[in-house]
Structure formats: structure tokens, C-alpha cells
């Protein structure tokens, strides 16, 4: 089959690899019809992780079931399904408590949590390919309704960024009628803005410096805060009568390699603490762990963040962080899409065949204007 494989930093190609196939009785084999490029792929693409040469990227996957193992009872050949990016078994003690983001059977060596096409997340092959093997298929594959093909660009956001944005808002302790500031108008930040809007925010503020991304935030009624035009904390204060936002979401993560990005690895997190009111809450989904040997900051070289805990403590805030547990939300969010209550596809900038993925990675990695979210359509 054809698949997008990693060759080295900023070097990917579409290559012929052995077909994905059923390996265990509870596997489901899917023909991939849509698979996204994600900001999380860039940690590996830019060479900040131990991603092996020849491995396949892709953790935001939708496809048609073409074969099921003998142990599968629910999923059927012909079903259109969404695969959560977290690989999870459904029966370990973490999964039993809904913590599928920290499944104990999807990884090895005492590390909890698996993901497709990720470094240090269990070694599972990704879905930027013609075929994908979904382990524990009955538990993992979310069946999509009859409009799956028509609304594919919406449903493909269910594997990761829509539930992840929702989770950022959830972890902040957000309640209807509150204000929220979101750092990052990338795909994840825009999904957090959409989630807060759907959940009844009185005011949603989104901070970034890319005009095209800020415009997408404005399209759903958010206030765009351009941090290239002035201190974002001061701008948030102006919009909140000097008090700060009730809640905040960190949707940036470590970005030192962004040509327009920041140098300090916890820059956004510290600004977020300053932008949120005393006793407010923060949800952090941006990823801070990839080690960056080329970073000017010694801590960033070790994959650690320089977090201003003093101000966070002084303000008595709360914070949640980590991988999002996609299965906690994907069923309900699927049904919101099916009922035409939300349209996460408004951020999609490109639908491209797999062959054009290497080019797409270059544009998305450079945060080029107009390259907000790329959906690849391998078959
Ligand atoms: P992205 O890199 O496209 O978007 C990040 C945005 O942040 C960019 O638009 C950039 O201009 C902006 N930015 C950079 N520095 C900033 C600053 N100081 N203040 C405000 N904005 C700033 O990536 P994405 O796909 O939106 O993903 C964002 C982060 O979320 C990444 O770290 C990704 O790995 C992570 N992520 C986490 C999970 C999870 O489960 N926790 C899931 C998906 C993605
Ligand atoms: Zn992703």
C-alpha cells in the first residue's frame, strides 16, 4: 500500500510499504478515506522526537471497514468509522475509568497511553496511508451515520482536534456564561473556540499572530487578539474590565521552530496565567515534552518547560493538562455534527490526495497563510 513515511527531519515521502492487515482477533482493517495533518505531527516532522525512519504518520483517521477479525462483534464490513487518536484497550484499569488517553495496554515499559503514528506512544502505525489496522476495534471504532461521506470533513475532526479543543475547555472548569481566552488559533485553538461557543461562553478571545487564522476565529464570533500588535495580556484585560478571563486554554505547546514563534518554551502558559483571573482555571492541551537539541533554551533541550509556578500559585488557579481522552466526547460530538448543530470543517483549507502530502507538510509546517487544516484523501 501507499503511505506517508518519515525519512528524517522535514523529510517525508509517499512510499510503497507492506499492507496493513488483521493481526489479532479483535482488529478491524479500514480503507482510509480521510486523514488529517496535525500540529502534533510537526513535533516529529521537525525532528524533535525519536520517530523511527520508515514509520507512517497519521492519527486523525476516518475510513471504511474492509475486514474484521474473528473476535469482532459490533463493527461490520462497510461501516464508515472514526478512530480516536488514542489507541486503547477498553479493559485496563485506566480505560475502565474513562482514561483511554492513558491506556495501560497500548504502550510498553510502564508508559501509559498509545497513539497511531506517534513517537513514544506504543509504536502503532499511522493512517496517512491506504489502509489502517485498528486494534480493539469494537471498543475503538466509532460508527458514523449515513451522511459520513457528505460530512467527511466534519467527522474527520472527531479523531482528535474537536474533542481535544472540547477537553481544553472542560479542563479549565468552564461554565456557561463565563469568559474564556484561548492561546493559539491553530486547528486545536479554533476547535476550543468552537467548543466554548457551543457551550455558551459570554465571550471567547483567541490570541495568535496569523491574520488568516484569527479571521477564522472571528467567523464564529470570537474576539481576535493579535499579539504582534501589542501585549496580549493587556488586550485581554481591556476586554475583561481589568479582571482577566474566567477561563483559559493553552493550544500552542512548544513551538520554538515556528519561524514566527517564541523562544521561551512556556511563554504562552505564563501569559495565560497572567490573562486569567484570580481563582480561574486553565486547560493545557499544547504539547511541551518533545526534546529539542537545537533549542537555545537548555530546559527545552531536555523537553522541559520554564513554567512560572509562583504567579500561578499566587492567583490560586487550577489547571488540567495532558493528552485528550477522545472517547469521552467523540460520540456526543458526532451527534452534534449529525444534527447540524456544529460544523468543525469550517477550518479545512485543503483536501488533497496522499501523493501531495509531502508538499502539504512543508506549507503547514511554515504556518503559511491559508494552510490551516489539511485533509488528505488517500482513497
Ligand atoms: P499549530 O502549531 O498549527 O497551531 C499553534 C498556533 O499557535 C499557531 O497558529 C501559532 O501561530 C500560535 N502561536 C505560537 N506562539 C504563540 C503565542 N506565544 N501566543 C499565541 N499563539 C501562538 O498546531 P495545532 O494543530 O493547533 O496544535 C496545537 C498544539 O496542540 C500542539 O502542541 C499539538 O501537539 C497539541 N495537541 C495536543 C493534543 C492533546 O491531546 N493534548 C491533541 C492535538 C494537538
Ligand atoms: Zn492531531
| In contact, 193 and 306? CB cutoff 8 Å | no
- Taking residues 281-302, what's their average pLDDT? 86
367/277 same-domain check: no
78/212 same-domain check: no
Ligand nearest to the CA of 266: 1
CATH number at residue 312: 3.40.50.720
Q: Is the pLDDT of residue 64 over 80?
A: yes
Q: pLDDT tens digits for 310-369?
A: 999 999 999 999 999 999 999 999 999 999 999 999 999 999 999 999 999 999 999 899
ipTM beyond 0.95? yes
140/50 same-domain check: yes
Quote the domain boundaries for residue 40: 2-160+325-376
259/343 same-domain check: no
**Closest atom, ligand 1, to C-alpha of 185:** 9
As for how many domains the chain has, the answer is 2
Instruction: From 278, 303, 321, give the residue that closes a domain.
Output: 321
Query: Can you list the positions of beta strands (E) in 26-147?
Result: 28-36, 61-68, 80-83, 86-87, 114-115, 131-134, 142-143
CATH number at residue 107: 3.90.180.10
pLDDT at position 149 is 97
156/167 same-domain check: no
Distance from the alpha carbon of residue 190 to the mean position of ligand 1, in angstroms? 10
Distance from the alpha carbon of residue 269 to the mean position of ligand 2, in angstroms? 20
39/135 same-domain check: yes
Q: Ligand 1 test: best mutation among 223, 264, 287, 368, most atoms within 8 Å of CB? A: 287
190/125 same-domain check: no
366/348 same-domain check: yes
233/305 same-domain check: yes
Q: Nearest residue CA, atom 3 of ligand 1?
A: 186
290/312 same-domain check: yes
User: Residues with Cβ < 8 Å from 146, sequence gap 6 or more?
Assistant: none
143/166 same-domain check: no
Angle at 184 between CA 33 and CA 173, to 5 degrees: 95
329/223 same-domain check: no
Instruction: From 321, 350, 365, give the residue that closes a domain.
Output: 321
Amino acid at each position: 500500500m501507499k503511505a506517508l513515511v518519515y525519512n528524517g527531519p522535514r523529510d517525508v515521502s509517499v512510499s510503497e510499504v507492506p499492507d496493513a492487515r488483521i493481526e489479532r482477533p479483535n482488529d478491524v482493517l479500514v480503507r482510509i478515506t480521510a486523514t488529517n495533518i496535525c500540529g502534533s505531527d510537526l513535533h516529529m516532522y521537525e525532528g524533535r522526537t525519536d520517530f523511527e525512519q520508515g514509520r507512517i504518520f497519521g492519527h486523525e483517521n476516518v475510513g471504511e471497514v474492509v475486514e474484521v477479525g474473528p473476535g469482532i462483534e459490533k463493527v461490520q464490513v462497510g461501516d464508515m468509522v472514526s478512530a480516536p487518536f488514542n489507541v486503547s484497550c477498553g479493559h485496563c484499569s485506566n480505560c475502565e475509568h474513562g482514561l483511554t488517553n492513558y491506556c495501560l495496554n497500548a504502550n510498553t515499559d510502564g508508559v501509559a497511553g498509545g497513539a497511531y503514528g506517534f513517537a513514544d506512544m506504543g509504536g502503532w502505525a499511522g493512517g496517512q496511508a491506504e489502509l489502517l489496522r485498528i486494534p480493539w476495534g469494537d471498543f475503538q471504532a466509532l460508527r458514523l451515520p449515513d451522511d459520513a461521506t457528505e460530512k467527511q470533513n466534519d467527522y474527520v475532526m472527531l479523531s482528535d482536534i474537536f474533542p481535544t479543543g472540547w477537553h481544553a475547555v472542560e479542563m479549565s472548569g468552564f461554565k456557561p456564561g463565563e469568559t474564556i481566552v484561548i492561546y493559539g488559533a491553530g486547528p486545536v485553538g479554533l476547535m476550543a473556540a468552537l467548543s466554548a461557543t457551543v457551550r455558551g461562553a459570554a465571550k471567547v478571545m483567541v490570541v495568535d499572530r496569523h491574520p488568516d487564522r484569527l479571521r477564522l476565529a472571528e467567523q464564529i464570533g470570537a474576539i481576535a487578539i493579535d499579539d504582534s500588535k501589542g501585549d496580549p495580556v493587556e488586550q485581554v484585560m481591556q476586554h475583561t474590565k481589568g479582571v482577566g478571563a474566567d477561563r483559559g486554554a493553552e493550544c500552542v505547546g512548544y513551538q520554538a521552530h515556528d519561524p514566527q514563534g517564541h523562544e521561551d518554551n512556556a511563554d504562552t502558559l505564563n501569559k495565560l496565567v497572567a490573562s486569567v483571573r484570580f481563582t480561574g482555571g486553565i486547560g493545557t492541551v499544547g504539547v511541551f515534552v518533545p526534546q529539542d537539541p537545537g533549542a537555545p533554551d537548555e530546559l527545552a533541550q531536555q523537553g522541559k518547560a520554564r513554567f512560572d509556578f509562583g504567579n500561578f500559585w499566587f492567583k490560586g488557579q487550577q489547571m488540567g493538562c495532558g493528552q485528550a481522552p477522545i472517547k469521552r466526547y467523540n460520540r456526543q460530538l458526532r451527534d452534534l455534527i449529525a444534527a447540524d448543530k456544529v460544523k468543525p470543517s469550517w477550518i479545512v483549507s485543503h483536501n488533497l490526495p496522499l501523493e501531495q502530502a509531502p508538499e502539504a507538510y512543508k506549507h503547514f509546517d511554515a504556518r503559511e497563510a491559508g494552510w490551516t487544516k489539511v485533509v488528505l484523501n488517500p482513497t
